[in-house]
């Protein structure tokens, strides 16, 4: 069975400069409305095209993603209420690094919706350090698309909780058995609270450890326990994590740049290095050129990809995509834009690796169709966790692989340091990913920037 499509027409750059009457895409928030300014740097081929109306696939729908045995049901979290004690300072070990008060500033999500996120001056740790835990003063915390998804209830997190999961800081206290880091170390925080000693961890797959951590209530506010998002809860002045979650990096890396290594950078670059394993001379398409997509692009460039096609609906993304290594940029304007055909035409029939970074099930189906026979379709973006994907069977049938990728398949203690070293050698961009820095109480503007889709990353500075 085939899909009938209208013949392609190509619009010039000048034609795109006129306001469009096309409807807004539902997968990303921003609809181009202003004039499209040509970039000063040029991609090898800048393609701006509109192809006729998309038709629904006539192939049999198949479901490929969902919760095993519990489709359309939210996951069940394991609740753990830690011992509620007042934190005791150890003046000798802190060596002047400890906080002077027991309460901290931070953000609390009390329900699903941005209006349920508020600032607090009264957050405390719920318990003292266990032997393998460390306390980290958070110097920078990126606001990632997953934070917005968490706040919007797409991850079914229990509340109240402290959001945030992409951070860097300084170790200010260590438990009695900690050997991975020491007080004063600059660290990037990992969301993997893996055990570190099971067969899976020993085999080099910490992200697949069965003991990644449940939902802990590691903070309290005026006696009310608070959950933490993604084993961290980083939008707060200090956090307590397992020692293997605090990965030391050279102090030369600025905190605001280092923070992004923990999620956005690792998610994008890890998808290329660890899962797709892009090789020299191969072709790549990246749907979504935001904070994660730009890292897919620059990692693919480092891996030696010959063609890297970036696709986004925001004209402003073109310049950054090209700077990060894209050889082609497709402006996908409007609901009826056929990005599949655009990629197939640019790449001569499809790419070796197609990355969906937006978190749209429809775009993931498109990514399958963009992939050439024998290639990889990479599901990097995260939609609602109970979402199902429907795709035309024929689109995947030609020996393609559909890869589920969580957090870049990362091995934090190896990969975080690798990224930091590449940055210090001038081979990997981090500073350019930071669009803006601001305080915890300005979280709404960070959410607004994410929804607008015009920026790479807002980074919060919990300690000023």
- Interacting residues with Zn ion (CB under 5 A): 144, 146, 194-195, 198, 201, 209, 263
Closest distance of CB 211 from Zn ion, Å = 5
Give, as one character, the DSSP assignment of residue 331: E
User: In whole angstroms, how close is the CB of 427 to Zn ion at the nearest point?
Assistant: 23
Helix H or strand E encompassing 208: none
Cβ distance to Zn ion smaller for residue 163 or 248:
163
Angle of helix 339-347 relative to helix 361-370, nearest 10 degrees, comes to 20
| 3-state SS, residue 444 | helix
Distance of closest approach, residue 392 Cβ to Zn ion, in angstroms: 30
> In terms of CB distance, is 146 or 369 closer to Zn ion?
146
The minimum distance between CB 462 and Zn ion, in angstroms, equals 17
CB of 380 to Zn ion, least distance (A): 11
Cβ distance to Zn ion smaller for residue 47 or 148:
148
- Phi, psi (rounded to 5 degrees) for 188: -100, 135
The total of other beta-carbon atoms located within 10 Å of residue 176's CB is 11
Token couple for 181:
């880091």
* Choice between 172 and 263, CB closer to Zn ion: 263
Nearest distance from residue 419's CB to Zn ion, in Å? 15
Q: Where are the beta strands (DSSP E) in 28-96?
A: 45-47, 49-51, 61-63, 79-80
Shortest spacing between CB 326 and Zn ion, in angstroms: 22
CA distance 210 to 196: 11
Cβ proximity to Zn ion, 32 vs 268, nearer residue: 268
What are 390's strand-pairing partners? 63
d(C-alpha 395, C-alpha 343), whole Å: 14
Using the minimum distance from each CB to Zn ion, give the nearer residue, 146 or 218.
146
**Nearer CB in complex with Zn ion: 160/291:** 291
Q: What is the token pair recorded at 378?
A: 């990479």
Q: % helix / strand / coil in the chain, to the nearest 5?
A: 30, 25, 45
How far is 133 from 273, CA to CA, in rounded Å?
A: 29
CA distance 363 to 365: 5
């Amino acid at each position: 069975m085939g899909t009938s499509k209208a013949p392609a027409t190509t619009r010039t750059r000048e034609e795109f400069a006129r306001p469009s009457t096309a409807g807004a895409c539902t997968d990303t928030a921003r609809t181009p409305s202003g004039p499209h300014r040509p970039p000063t740097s040029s991609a090898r081929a800048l393609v701006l095209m509109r192809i006729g109306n998309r038709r629904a696939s006539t192939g049999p729908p198949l479901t490929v993603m969902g919760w095993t045995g519990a489709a359309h049901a939210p996951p069940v979290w394991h609740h753990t209420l830690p011992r509620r004690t007042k934190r005791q300072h150890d003046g000798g070990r802190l060596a002047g690094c400890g906080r002077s008060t027991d309460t901290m500033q931070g953000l609390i999500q009390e329900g699903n919706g941005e209006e349920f996120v508020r600032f607090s001056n009264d957050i405390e740790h719920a318990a003292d350090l266990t032997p393998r835990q460390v306390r980290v003063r958070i110097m920078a915390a990126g606001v990632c698309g997953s934070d917005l998804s968490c706040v919007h209830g797409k991850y079914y997190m229990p509340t109240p909780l402290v959001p945030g999961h992409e951070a860097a800081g300084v170790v200010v206290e260590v438990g009695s058995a900690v050997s991975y880091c020491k007080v004063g170390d600059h660290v990037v925080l990992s969301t993997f609270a893996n055990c570190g000693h099971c067969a899976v961890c020993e085999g080099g797959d910490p992200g697949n450890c069965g003991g990644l951590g449940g939902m802990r209530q590691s903070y309290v506010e005026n006696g009310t326990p608070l959950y933490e998002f993604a084993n961290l809860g980083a939008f707060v002045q200090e956090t307590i994590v397992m020692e293997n979650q605090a990965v030391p990096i050279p102090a030369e890396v600025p905190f605001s740049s280092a923070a992004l290594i923990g999620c956005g950078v690792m998610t994008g670059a890890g998808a290329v290095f660890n899962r797709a394993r892009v090789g020299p001379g191969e072709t790549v398409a990246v749907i979504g050129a935001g904070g994660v997509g730009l890292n897919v692009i620059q990692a693919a460039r480092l891996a030696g990809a010959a063609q890297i096609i970036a696709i986004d609906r925001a004209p402003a993304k073109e310049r950054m995509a090209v700077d990060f290594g894209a050889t082609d940029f497709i402006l996908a304007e409007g609901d009826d834009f056929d990005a599949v055909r655009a990629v197939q035409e640019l790449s001569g029939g499809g790419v070796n690796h197609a990355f969906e970074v937006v978190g749209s099930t429809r775009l993931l189906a498109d990514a399958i169709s963009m992939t050439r026979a024998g290639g990889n379709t990479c599901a990097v973006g995260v939609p609602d966790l109970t979402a199902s994907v429907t795709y035309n069977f024929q689109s995947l049938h030609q020996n393609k692989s559909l890869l589920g990728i969580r957090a870049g398949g990362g091995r934090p203690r190896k990969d975080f340091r690798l990224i930091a070293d590449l940055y210090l050698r001038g081979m990997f961009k981090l500073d350019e990913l930071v669009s803006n820095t601001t305080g915890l109480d300005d979280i709404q503007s960070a959410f607004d920037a994410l929804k607008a889709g015009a920026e790479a990353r807002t980074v919060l500075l919990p300690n000023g």
